[in-house]
Structures are given as C-alpha cells and as structure tokens.
C-alpha cells in the first residue's frame, strides 16, 4: 500500500507515520516528489490493513498497489531513478557504457582493457573476480586478488568498477574494492543474496535470470529495495528459448515493458545475449533505440586467449568502433553519455 501525503504535509507529519509503521512492525519507504511525498509501506498485509493511517494529520489518501512488486513500481514513483556513481550517471536520459573483460585474469590484462575502455568513452569498467561457471572445472576467477586488480584499474583510469558478488561471505571485500555490485543471472532469485545487497549503500546491477519473466525480475529487485537500497539497475542479458543460433535470445521488448512498469533504469548486456562478438554492435544499437539506459559489453585485449567468454568479447579496436557508433546514436536520441 501507498500513503500519499497532502501537498502541505510537514516533515514531522511524515516522521510520525514512519514511527507508527515501525512500532507496528511495518516499514515506510519515503519517495519525495516535486509536489507530494509518497510513503510506500511494506510488511505483513494484515498488520498494515489494520492501521488507521488515513486518520493521521498530513495524509491525503491511502491507496493499494496492485502489482506484486511495490517499491520498484511506477505506481510508487513515476519519475525515472537516476543512479550516480563516481561522477557518472545512469538513467533518466543518462546512458551508461560499461565495458571490460568477462573475468579479471591478470593485472596486465585488466589494466590494458581498462585503458582501452576509458579511451573509447566507457563510463564504467566491468570485470569478474568471482565467476559463476557452468562447469566446476572452468576458471573460477581470481577472487580477492582480482578485486585488488580492479581497484588498481579504477585508480589508474577513474572509471567506477562493476563486479559480481556470488556469496554474501564476500560482500565486505566486494564493497571494499568496487563501486557497483553485480548479481548474476544465475543468482537472480538467490533471495538471501538479494537481501544482503539490499543492506549496503551501493548501486546494484541485477541481471535477469536465464528463464525469468519480467515480473520475476522486478520482484527480485523488490527484495533489494525493500531492505533500503533503491539503487538498482536492471539488466536484460538474454533468456533461454528454443533458438540455437545465439547463446540466448535478447528480449528487446523487455526494455519498454520494464520502463512501463518500473522507475528503475534498465541496461542491456548484448554479449551474453548473443554469445558472438559480431552481434554485439547491432544488438547494442537496437537496445538504445528501444530505450535502454545503458549497455554492458565484454571487451578483452586478446579475446582468443580469454579464460572465459572469448567468443563474445570485442577486442579494443572493435570496441572503439562500436563505442563511436553508440555515441552517435546517443546524441541522435537526445540523450547523453554518462
Ligand atoms: C557476466 O557478466 O560475466 C555473467 C556471468 O553474466 P550472466 O550472469 O548474465 O550470465
Ligand atoms: Mn561473461
């Protein structure tokens, strides 16, 4: 449910309601708009229904939110969420361009990728230190050593760093060394992990599960926002279908549908969707045309030697060409890079 305050409601009146909710074991999430303040309420349905909230001073009306997700819905907040990290923004007309290798493999490899990403105009650097590999015998990532290398690349380039968290036990290390936490497709419904990252003040890239519906993705985001962290970036990265020509099928329609249903920004990962480097450019352009707030693209100094996802990785020269075309598209659409 959602409490819409009167235009002349005072901060004390908002505070009183938050206290009342807290005493009843429910939680209020405040969204301050230009005109009115709205309080989203989460907690036990019966407890909330029993509270006489309409009687409180400053309250205009109390409305139900009909969707299964509340705080991430357009009903709760109708203005796009803009996420700013390290001086760059994503959402609300700011396009993010996140690039870097699938995995951090060595200091030399990552620094070369980071400098190439920066030179081509990327706004953030990606690189996995903890890797979710289908085979237990495949390269699993460098772990904390990989995080240290990412932090060094951030120092060298000024690019904020995005890296995946797979296990809540690594949360402190990931928070210490990186700027944005990625929750991978395979963990989209790892609810304990979602709640854990909901408690930190860091932007989260939440990737759509391999066979998850759009509403399931939004409910996964709700788990994070419910804990207090509303800096969630949704990521469409392709879903499993009967088609075998690509690794996954990029669901372009997810972009405008998510935008209709949620205020959260949505980015596209064309690399994991396609599984092939030569499809990255057309899928990236299509994603921007459909309204994506950003792209996450795998780029490796030498894709042929990559320890993971080489076939879908661009080399620096290819990435530079693609980034230039994307920048032309971004300008043509009247949006800005970062
Ligand atoms: C990745 O970004 O390297 C990754 C493993 O992605 P996904 O979780 O989408 O498969
Ligand atoms: Mn990858």
Cβ of 71 closer than 6 Å to ligand 1, yes or no, is no
- Which residues, in sequence order, are bridge partners of residue 95? 337
Strands (E), 112-259: 124-126, 161-164, 180-183, 204-207, 232-236
Cβ of 250 closer than 6 Å to ligand 1, yes or no, is no
* Whole-number pLDDT of residue 33: 85
* Whole-number pLDDT of residue 263: 98
Cβ of 207 closer than 6 Å to ligand 1, yes or no, is yes
Q: Residue of the nearest CA to atom 10 in ligand 1?
A: 185
Interval 74-88 mean pLDDT: 95
Sign of CA dihedral 117, 269, 69, 221: negative
Per CATH, which fold does 2-63 belong to? Answer: Alpha-Beta Plaits (3.30.70)
Q: 336: how many CB neighbours lie within 10 A of its CB?
A: 12
Cβ of 272 closer than 6 Å to ligand 1, yes or no, is yes
* Whole-number pLDDT of residue 47: 83
Start-end of CATH 3.30.70.1140 domains in the chain: 2-63
310 alpha carbon – ligand 2 mean position (Å): 8
Dump pLDDT digits (tens) for 8-66.
999 999 999 999 999 999 999 999 888 899 999 988 888 888 889 999 999 999 998 88
59 alpha carbon – ligand 2 mean position (Å): 48
Dump pLDDT digits (tens) for 127-167.
999 999 999 999 999 999 999 999 999 999 999 999 999 99
How far is residue 166 from each of residues 116, 159, 194, 282, measured CA to CA in Å? 27, 22, 10, 30
- Look up residue 73 and give its DSSP letter: B
Q: Taking all residues of the chain, what is their mean pLDDT, rounded to a whole number?
A: 96
Question: Do strands 180-183 and 204-207 pair parallel, antiparallel, or not at all (unpaired)?
Answer: parallel
pTM for this structure? 0.95
Strand order in the sheet with 27-32: 27-32, 37-42, 2-5, 59-63
Start-end of CATH 3.20.20.70 domains in the chain: 83-337
CATH of domain 83-337: 3.20.20.70
* Whole-number pLDDT of residue 189: 98
Dump pLDDT digits (tens) for 203-233.
999 999 999 999 999 999 999 999 999 999 9
239 alpha carbon – ligand 1 mean position (Å): 12
How far is residue 185 from each of residues 25, 78, 194, 200, measured CA to CA in Å? 32, 27, 12, 20
74 alpha carbon – ligand 2 mean position (Å): 31
């Amino acid at each position: 449910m959602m409490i819409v305050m009167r235009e002349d409601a005072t901060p004390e009146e908002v505070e009183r309601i938050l206290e009342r909710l807290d005493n009843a074991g429910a939680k209020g999430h405040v969204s301050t708009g230009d005109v009115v303040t709205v309080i989203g309420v989460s907690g036990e349905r019966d407890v909330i229904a029993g509270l006489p909230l309409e009687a409180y001073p400053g309250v205009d009306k109390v409305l139900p939110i009909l969707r299964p997700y509340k705080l991430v819905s357009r009903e709760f907040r109708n203005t796009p969420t803009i996420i700013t990290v390290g001086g760059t923004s994503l959402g609300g007309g700011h396009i993010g361009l996140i690039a870097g290798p699938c995995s951090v493999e060595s200091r030399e490899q990552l620094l070369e990728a980071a400098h190439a990403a920066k030179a081509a105009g990327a706004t953030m650097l990606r690189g996995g230190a903890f890797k979710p590999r289908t085979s237990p015998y495949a390269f699993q990532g460098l772990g904390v050593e990989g995080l240290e290398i990412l932090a060094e690349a951030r120092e060298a380039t000024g690019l904020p760093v995005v890296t995946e968290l797979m296990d809540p036990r690594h949360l402190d290390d990931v928070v210490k060394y990186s700027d944005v936490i990625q929750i991978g497709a395979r963990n989209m419904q790892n609810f304990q992990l979602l709640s854990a990252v909901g408690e930190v003040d860091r932007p989260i890239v939440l990737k759509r599960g391999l066979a998850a519906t759009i509403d399931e993705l939004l409910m996964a985001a709700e788990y994070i926002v419910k804990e207090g962290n509303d800096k969630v970036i949704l990521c469409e990265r392709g879903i499993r279908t009967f088609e075998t020509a690509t690794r996954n099928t990029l669901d372009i329609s997810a972009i405008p549908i998510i935008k209709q249903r949620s205020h959260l920004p949505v980015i596209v990962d064309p690399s994991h969707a396609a599984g092939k480097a030569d499809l990255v450019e057309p899928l990236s352009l299509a994603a921007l045309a459909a309204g994506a707030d950003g792209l996450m693209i795998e780029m490796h100094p030498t894709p042929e030697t990559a320890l993971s996802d080489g076939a879908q990785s661009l080399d620096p020269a290819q990435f530079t060409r693609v980034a230039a075309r994307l920048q032309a598209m971004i300008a043509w659409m009247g949006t800005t890079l970062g």
